Structure 1
Amino acid sequence: MSNVVLLSTRRLPPTYFDQVREDLGDQDITIDVVGWVAPSAWVADKVNTFTLIGPGRMPAQPVVEPEPVDPTDEAPDAVIAPEAVAEPEAVAADEKIAPAAAEVVEEKTESVQATTPDPAPQPAPATAKARPTGAKRVVKAVEWRARRARKVAGRMLPPAIKKSAPVKFLRGQRASSDLGKTYWARVLSRRDVLATIDQADVVVALDAGAIWAGWNLGQRKASTPVVLGLPAARRELDMLKVPAGNG
């Protein structure tokens, strides 16, 4: 049995891991995932482990709906005992007592209101925060003008340039680079993740955000193949099955 570790920074659905097994040739493998984002649903029945190292939390296990109850198994209607039914004379007596009780409650309410002290005076509202003066005022003004200049510069770019392929590519590259470094730093800080990777036969970086971590892992442990994408992982697994000397 081969152990495959998947590095991912994207949200993966449970069905994706069925596709992983199919792309890897339905081989006898165990799958461990190191994800920056939690999967879209419960995946404990799809993978060996899924270690979340980014923000958020893992999805909860789905609740199993209870089986419907057969109406024929319900208890028969309750029978009212004769002694539980009030007599007409008792009802009439209760109607006479009710007004008198209401008058007593009103008298007690008036006496309580008369003895209740006036509410305590509310504290005065807090005064507004003093504005910065002197050098602090100059610094705040410069920071405000810098933020405004960046906003104006962004609005001045024509929409065609903002939506152009080169600009989108550069923004995507910058975001992937920042995420990749953060992902790799989190991997290094987790002993459980490093222990899982040390037991892997093949490590697979699934997306651009995981490439930097994959490259660094390849430099740290040259004996374990670290590849990009499932086709390359399939080739590595096929090579592991070939006996030594027959290649």
Structure 2
Amino acid sequence: MSNVVLLSTRKLPPTYFDQVREDLGDPDITIDVVGWVAPSAWVADKVNTFTLIGPGRMPAAPEPEPAEEPVGEPTDEAPDAVIAPEAVAEPETVVADDATGAPAAAQVADAGPAAEADTAADPGAAADAAAAPAGQPAAAAKPAAKPRPTGAKRVVKAVEWRARKARKVAGKMLPKAIKTSAPVKFLRGHRATSDLGKNYWNRVLSRRDVLATIEQADVVVALDAGAIWAGWNLGQRRASTPVVLGLPAARRELDMMKVHG
């Protein structure tokens, strides 16, 4: 059984790995993936390992389907009686007597006029109490203002603000035809790919688990432009392991191994 390591900087769907096995001509091939971006869905049942070395997190495992409840056979027994809520009498309200022997409810009633007089004396307090939601104070304290930078920090902030403003002005002055031209798009894409490739390779070098996985590979495949730089460096470091670009080249290497092996 052959072991193939895929180097990728793109988001791969789970169905892609079925296509990989079909393109390589071996449904039982072992696939290990070193990805900069997490796959679009759960892939534990599609590959041997998927090592994420870039930002983000792996997708969670799908939740198991709920088991169907068994349906019992009908019986002649009558169902349990259902009691209507209105048929149940509510318990009597118990009012504790105070020290004077008078019920507490009477004291609440006696305090009613005094409370109404206080509310009438201060109608603003009553409005605030009515407007405030339950469980919250009537007047919430305002958050403290963030202190402004001083000294050297103020100078740095001013320089950063002027630099951002200058970039915006320069971007507006540049004609749209130049912004959307093919050479400018190529240069921007090449720069982004170059930065991604270097970051991907540096992260591969810093992970011992990734290097251990690559050492066990029969073929290492760089799937996209972002993984080419890592593939080239791995080819220089491990001459005994073929490192190729794309699945067709990997298929040729595996076929040659079967012929000579």
TM range (shorter): 0.7 to 0.9
Please tell me whether residue 22 in structure 1 is matched to residue 40 in structure 2. no
Please state if 1:158 is matched with 2:175: yes
Pair 1:52 & 2:45 matched: no
Picking from 181, 204, 213, the partner of 1:196 is 213
Gap runs ≥5 in structure 1: 114-118
Rate the CA distance shift 1:199–1:150 in 2: closer, same or farther, 3 A.
same
SS at match of 2:37: coil
Q: Does the C-alpha gap of structure 1 residues 73 and 216 become closer, same or farther in structure 2, counting only changes over 3 Å?
A: farther
Q: Pairwise mapping of residues 166-181 of structure 1 onto structure 2 (< 5 A)?
A: 166-181=183-198
Q: CA deviation at 1:127?
A: 6.4
Structure 1: distance between partners of 2:187 and 2:204? 26
Q: When the two structures are superposed, what TM-score results if normalisation uses the length of structure 1?
A: 0.77
**Aligned position for 2:253:** 236
Mapped partners of 1:17, 1:141: distance in 2:
51
What one-letter code is carried by the residue in structure 2 that aligns with 1:129?
A: P
- CA deviation map 1:33-92 (0-9, x unaligned): 0001111011111111111111111111111222333555699742369xxx76xxx77x
C-alpha deviation, 1:178, in angstroms: 0.9
Output the amino acid matched with 1:23. D
Extract unaligned runs of 5+ from structure 2.
Answer: 96-101, 116-136
Amino acid at match of 2:92: D
Among all aligned residue pairs of Structure 1 and Structure 2, give the percentage whose two residues are the same amino acid.
73
CA, structure 1 residues 102+170, in 2 after alignment: closer, same or farther (shift >3 Å)? Answer: farther
Structure 2 residue 160 is matched with structure 1 residue 143: yes
Structure 2 matches for 1:52-201, cutoff 5 A?
52-70=52-70, 72=72, 77-79=79-81, 94=92, 103=105, 106=108, 126=144, 129-130=147-148, 132=150, 140-201=157-218
User: Distance between the aligned counterparts of 1:174 and 1:209, measured in 2?
Assistant: 11
Q: Deviations over 1:3-38 (max 9, x none)?
A: 000000100000000111111113541000000111
Length, aligned pairs only: 227
The root-mean-square deviation of aligned C-alpha atoms, in Å, is 3.7
Distance 1:126 1:52 in 2: 42
TM-superposed CA distance for 1:167, in Å, is 1.3
CA distance in 2, matches of 1:226, 1:194: 14
Quick one: distance in 1 between partners of 2:145 and 2:82?
68
Counterparts of 2:169 and 2:259, CA distance in 1:
62
